[in-house]
Amino acid sequence: MLLKDKVVIVSGIGPGLGQELSTLAAKEGAKAVVLAARTAAKLDVAEQEINALGLGTAVLKVVTDISDQAQCQALADRAAAEFGRIDVLFNSAYDPGSFEPIESASMDGWRRAMDVNFFGTMYLTQACVPHMKKSGGGAIVMIATMVEHKPLATQAGYGASKSALRCATKHLALELGKYNIRVNSCHMGWMWGPSVEGYFSWQAKATGKSQQELIAEVTAQHPAGRDSR
């Protein structure tokens, strides 16, 4: 098991990847999973999913807006106080920003995305690093995006915030390696779930195409050429 007896924090708990990461952590043997999101009800659902596995995984739920540095510090300190250590941090919380062309985009939307995706992630990372150092090491995983590498219409603000995070991730890996703390990023592709389903629904209304037509266009870009839903 990859996470046997580890204490794992997952930010951005919701109906998509954050929830999947939390249940996967439990399946991989985590001693405790610390759930963080702005909405308490989403934390409750994730807790139920973990408990349903019957593995005896301890769960700590902390309502957290990661764009607030004090809340990030409180989250990390509670996790360490409850379980004695922090071994793994999954930075999964994000804000998609505003879906607009750059020439007419609201910079307020860009700032909101940057406050969560970049600064918020940095706040939470900073809060966890001292605890990882104290326990002799750890792992930090940034949930990045394919939009950093392949532009997607109207997602420039989101892509820019994640690109800034990618740069910081490289520097963090250099700074923290000597403390036995690994820092990596995962650049996710299309994963069918509430967020992606919502995007295709929005695109269908904006373009007049059916969702199936839009999905077929994306599928055609994949080397395997198949819809993996």
Please give the positions annotated as active site: 158
- Residue 55 near residue 27, CB atoms below 8 Å: yes
- Residue 50 near residue 27, CB atoms below 8 Å: no
Which 8-state DSSP code applies to residue 115?
I
Name the phi and psi angles at 43, rounded to 5. Answer: -65, -40
**Distance, CA of 221 to CA of 223 (rounded, Å):** 7
Q: For the chain, first and last CA: distance in Å?
A: 27
- Residue 19 near residue 46, CB atoms below 8 Å: yes
Polymer length in residues for the chain: 229
**Distance, CA of 41 to CA of 39 (rounded, Å):** 6
